[in-house]
Amino acid sequence: MIAAVAETIETGDAERLRALAGDLHEADLGDLIQALEPDLRPGLVELLGSAFHFAALTEVDESVRLQILEGLPTQTIVDGLRELDSDDAVYILEDLEDEDRKKILDRLPLPDRAALVRALDFPEEAIGRLMQTDFVAVPPFWTVGRAIDYLTELGEDGPETFYEIFVIDPVFRLEGTVSLDKLLRSSRTAQLKTVLNDEVRSFEALEDREDVARQFQRYNLVSAPVVDPENRLVGVVTIDDIVDVIQQEADEDLKALGGVFGDEELSDTVRETARSRFPWLAINLCTAFITATIIGLFSDTIERMVALAALMPIVASMGGNAGTQTMTVTVRALTHRELGRRRIRWIISREMLVALVNGVALSIILGGVAAAWYRNPELGVVIGTALIINMVVAGLFGALIPITVHRLKFDPAVASGVFLTTATDTVGFFAFLGIAAWWFGLW
Amino acid sequence: MIAAVAETIETGDAERLRALAGDLHEADLGDLIQALEPDLRPGLVELLGSAFHFAALTEVDESVRLQILEGLPTQTIVDGLRELDSDDAVYILEDLEDEDRKKILDRLPLPDRAALVRALDFPEEAIGRLMQTDFVAVPPFWTVGRAIDYLTELGEDGPETFYEIFVIDPVFRLEGTVSLDKLLRSSRTAQLKTVLNDEVRSFEALEDREDVARQFQRYNLVSAPVVDPENRLVGVVTIDDIVDVIQQEADEDLKALGGVFGDEELSDTVRETARSRFPWLAINLCTAFITATIIGLFSDTIERMVALAALMPIVASMGGNAGTQTMTVTVRALTHRELGRRRIRWIISREMLVALVNGVALSIILGGVAAAWYRNPELGVVIGTALIINMVVAGLFGALIPITVHRLKFDPAVASGVFLTTATDTVGFFAFLGIAAWWFGLW
């Protein structure tokens, strides 16, 4: 398929290309674009002409999208954007350089341009960026029958898809919503004001998209009105965009916990990837020097009892693992807003208790093995004690660090890992070497 | 609020409780239940009586749900389940013991019982568990007008909410779907067969819920028909359940990468939590012994040059971090099905290159600092070389391990971390101590 399409683009056979790719769903077309050699991509768009649905550009990585847009004449982009719902057009425009974006916007008809400029003025995290400005709004005194007939007359006009209509007063203030199934199930003679749902979950355009996504999820919403501070209807957000937000948030948390920035994409170059990952590694290097300093304090101890050098990473790594477990659970609870003030105190003590229970169990195993291995029961006691201490500290910090980062209004997934391993390494080496030095009199 | 509700339950004031909690959305009611003392929870359900919407039980943790169901008379549960859509009823029934479930099912009317038993027969991961068996299906020769009138007559009967109607032949085979907005926008006199969408994305009941969720996301679906192998319509899945699947999958990946089992819940007891986390820690302890053995091989070397003991964790930890970055990106790409065969070879080489680039940069810093600190330039060269080796190996294994785990049909998020740190620790200590021993002739 990809090879056939590539060949068709090279030979410029528009008809064959339309036969091959003209009927693809935008998601599949996006995949096809992504799989093509970069220099063939703009050719595909131009050759497909009006059969190319620009929504496919919302399905490819940012770097691929920018590369295609750079390779296309402005007029082609303008024509493509006019076919799109406003939220998709915004998505395509938002990553462009200001200058390129202005060139495109200037050629759009005024009403389209005004809607897009307004949407682009919202901050990137605001729900206003994701809203559609095309919707169906009707007055409360209309009957169900009249609303149905109005929709029949609407035909192909209006939004591409919708799941509810909005009931507004003369100055566009939202009075309620009527879902399409509710509309269809109501008597034709009933007035809309008697069938509308007036307990509407509406959002202001500046609200954070994550918060809105959580509400969609919580209340099983499929679409929701966006209003201005005077409760005037300005747009609608739909579940398809919200699903993307949910997925994106989850991806960002996953990546952040793994020490990768959220905007790293698979199609980034080696240079971009290396550069974006370097800061985390550099920070980790700095904290590793702290660990090295701690160990350095005990060089005499290690010199006299070199077994300690072999055993010390065990204590540190077990603490790191236990702490990561706690941190993972805590970060997840924080991002899902599952932690009230009362529960925070409770989760910290629970995590420390869990760490204590597992610490005792594992320290018996570790202490036993170490004692047998080095034929030194006292060494077993020392390493077992150090393990319990480090695991309880790991439980404490594993919960405390993300909670503190969250209180300081940062994303708890981003920086917690670095702080945590610094804590568990430092405490792990210090506890083990310190107790050993004191116990064996090697200080 | 919680205190007032608790007091009302204790005094048994049904009217006041209905005033306080009767109008809550099921999600908010679920939160309220979760916040109450366990022994008050069944009382809330009984006191609210018919004002308690059993859907709230789908919003609480499994352990809380089971505790409430155990505290309720069977008839109360039966009455509550009858009010629910089949997918919610299945969700509540599926965690019960076989015996308790049978007692409840036996008291349900036959059609409800049959649908639930059939749904519960599907494996837990199958989409059949999430489907609704109540839907609107009409013949293709009906006109749009007749379908609309049929829905008006349906009134409150039929599914609680729906977004499309299904067009079927006399033996229930699916011919297509008509979304409600499409139905409303079409001419009343048009036959359904002329307006239906016949490129339907339908699913078989046994398909994996994750795969279905990916399709929903990819094609922006809001609901989709479920069919049997003969393409006969048996149910419908809706986006609200799919959103939960997406969220759950993301959570499971996040937890698995953090060494926590996916079914751990915040409401679990200390004992349950400790027990569920223990296996990972025990595995980590075993692999830590491998690391200790490697270091033990070099005890003579360390004894003669104790600086090595302080520096060796740096090499291991940097490798661990770089490897985790690669692993995170790879796991994410695997779960999103972004990796074809050609891309796999490409991602492995890209990750090794990225690791090499950052490894060289960081080894200059690390080597420089180590050389200055210990006034030993050769030590700088040794640790720098070891770092580059360990980081490239980390890049290789960080990609290779999850890809291999995935090929073996396991979840790449679950076990990759343990293998990876074993690899980076082993290689890190071995490379550094080995090169040092050879370079300084301390073998």
* Per-domain boundaries in chain B: 2-121, 137-257, 270-439
Confidence of residue A443 (pLDDT cuts 50, 70, 90): low
Nearest residue to A236 (alpha-carbon basis) of B181, B197, B246:
B181
Contacts of B366 in chain A (CB under 8 A): 285
The predicted-structure confidence for A214-262, as pLDDT tens digits, reads as follows 999 989 999 999 999 999 999 999 999 999 999 888 888 888 888 888 7
**pLDDT for residue B34 is more than 90:** no
Q: What is the pLDDT of residue B119?
A: 87
In chain B, whose CA is at the least distance from the CA of A387?
B285
Contacts of B280 in chain A (CB under 8 A): 321, 325
Task: Classify domain A137-257 at the CATH class level.
Answer: alpha beta
Whole-number average pLDDT of chain B: 90
Whole-number average pLDDT of chain A: 90
| Distance of alpha carbon A4 from alpha carbon A11, whole angstroms | 11
Interface of B with A in 235-274 (CB under 8 A): 239-240, 242-244, 246-247, 250-251, 253-255, 257-260, 264, 266, 270-271, 273-274
Confidence of residue B206 (pLDDT cuts 50, 70, 90): very high
The predicted-structure confidence for A48-73, as pLDDT tens digits, reads as follows 888 888 999 988 888 889 899 888 88
A270-439: CATH topology is: Tetracycline Repressor; domain 2 (1.10.357)
The predicted-structure confidence for B387-412, as pLDDT tens digits, reads as follows 999 999 999 999 999 999 989 988 88
Nearest residue to B317 (alpha-carbon basis) of B433, B428, B430, B434:
B428
**pLDDT for residue B223 is more than 70:** yes
The predicted-structure confidence for A390-425, as pLDDT tens digits, reads as follows 999 999 999 999 999 989 988 888 778 888 989 999
Q: What is the pLDDT of residue B232?
A: 95
Interface of A with B in 22-61 (CB under 8 A): 25, 27
Nearest residue to A144 (alpha-carbon basis) of A196, A192, A181, A193:
A192
The predicted-structure confidence for B227-238, as pLDDT tens digits, reads as follows 999 999 999 999
The predicted-structure confidence for B328-347, as pLDDT tens digits, reads as follows 999 888 887 777 777 788 88
Q: What is the mean pLDDT of residues B148-164?
A: 90
Q: What is the pLDDT of residue B358?
A: 95
Confidence of residue B367 (pLDDT cuts 50, 70, 90): very high
Q: What is the second-level CATH architecture of the domain A2-121?
A: Alpha Horseshoe (1.25)
Nearest residue to B331 (alpha-carbon basis) of A59, A255, A320:
A255
Burial of B284: CB neighbours in 10 Å, binned 0-12, 13-18, 19+: buried
- Regarding predicted confidence, which is higher, A268 or B195? B195
Interface of A with B in 281-300 (CB under 8 A): 281-282, 284-285, 288-289, 291-293, 295-296, 299
Tell me, yes or no, if B358 comes closer than 8 A to chain A by beta carbon.
yes
Share of chain B above pLDDT 90, in %: 53
**pLDDT for residue B443 is more than 70:** no
In SS3 terms, chain A reads as: CHHHHHHHHHHCCHHHHHHHHCCCCHHHHHHHHHHCCHHHHHHHHHHHHHHCCHHHHHHCCHHHHHHHHHCCCHHHHHHHHHCCCHHHHHHHHCCCCHHHHHHHHHCCCHHHHHHHHHHHHCCCCEHHHHCECCCCEECCCCEHHHHHHHHHHHCCCCCCCCCEEEEECCCCEEEEEEEHHHHHHCCCCCEHHHHCECCCCCEECCCEHHHHHHHHHHCCCCEEEEECCCCEEEEEEEHHHHHHHHHHHHHHHHHHHCCCCCCCCCCCCHHHHHHHHHHHHHHHHHHHHHHHHHHHHCHHHHHHCCHHHHHHHHHHHHHHHHHHHHHHHHHHHHHCCCCCHHHHHHHHHHHHHHHHHHHHHHHHHHHHHHHHHCCCHHHHHHHHHHHHHHHHHHHHHHHHHHHHHHHCCCCHHHHHHHHHHHHHHHHHHHHHHHHHHHHCCCC
Q: What is the pLDDT of residue A4?
A: 87
Residues 6+ apart with CB under 8 A from B244: A217
Q: What is the pLDDT of residue B1?
A: 78
Contacts of A149 in chain B (CB under 8 A): none
Interface of A with B in 70-99 (CB under 8 A): none
Contacts of A328 in chain B (CB under 8 A): 254-255, 257-260
In angstroms, the first-to-last Cα distance of chain A is 72
Of A252-256, B167-171, B423-427, B433-437, the one with minimum mean pLDDT is A252-256
Q: What is the mean pLDDT of residues B40-47?
A: 88
Please say whether the beta carbons of A253 and A335 come within 8 A.
yes
**pLDDT for residue A23 is more than 90:** no
Residues 6+ apart with CB under 8 A from B233: B135, B137, B166, B168, B172, B173, B174, B225, B226, B227
Of A168-172, B49-53, B376-380, the one with minimum mean pLDDT is B49-53
Q: Inspect the interface and report whether the beta carbons of B317 and A181 lie closer than 8 Å.
A: no
DSSP state of B229: T
